[in-house]
Chain A
Amino acid sequence: MTTSSRFPVPPAAELRAVTKRYGDVVALDQVDLALEPGRVTALLGPNGAGKTTCVKLLLGLTRPDAGRAEVFGGDPDATAQRTRVGAMMQISKVPETLRVREHLELFASYYPRPLPPAEAIAAAGLEGLEGRPFGKLSGGQKQRLMFALAMVGDPDLLFLDEPTVGLDVEARRAFWDQVRRRVEEEGRTVLLTSHYLEEADALADRVVVIHRGRVVADGSPAEIKSRAAARRIRCTTGLDAAGVAGLPGVSRARRDRAGLEIVAARAELVVRELLARDPDLTDLEVTGAGLEEAFLDLTRDHREHDDEPAAAAEKGAA
Chain B
Amino acid sequence: MSSQFRQRFQRIWDRILQPVWVFLGSYALAISVLLLLLVLTYFGTIAQIHMSIHDAQMKYFDSMFVRVETPIGIPALLPGGRLLLILLTINLIVGGMVRIRRSSSKIGIYVIHAGILILLIGSYFEDVGSEKGYMTLVEGERKDYFHSGSDWEVVIHMAVNDGEEERDFVVPFEQLEPLAEGGSLNVSHPELPFTVRLSDFLLNSKPQRGPDRRMPVVLQELPRDADEVQANAAGISALVVDGHGTRRETVLWGRSLHPWVFKADGRDWGMTLRKRTWMLPYSVQLRDAEGTEHPGTSIPSRYWSDVRRYEGNTATDVHIKMNHPMREEGYTFYQTGFQRAGGGTGKDISTFSVVKNPTDRVPLYACIVIAIGLVIHFATKLERYMRAENKKRELAGHATSTA
A and B: partners? no
Residues of B bordering A, CB below 8 Å? none
Residues of A bordering B, CB below 8 Å? none
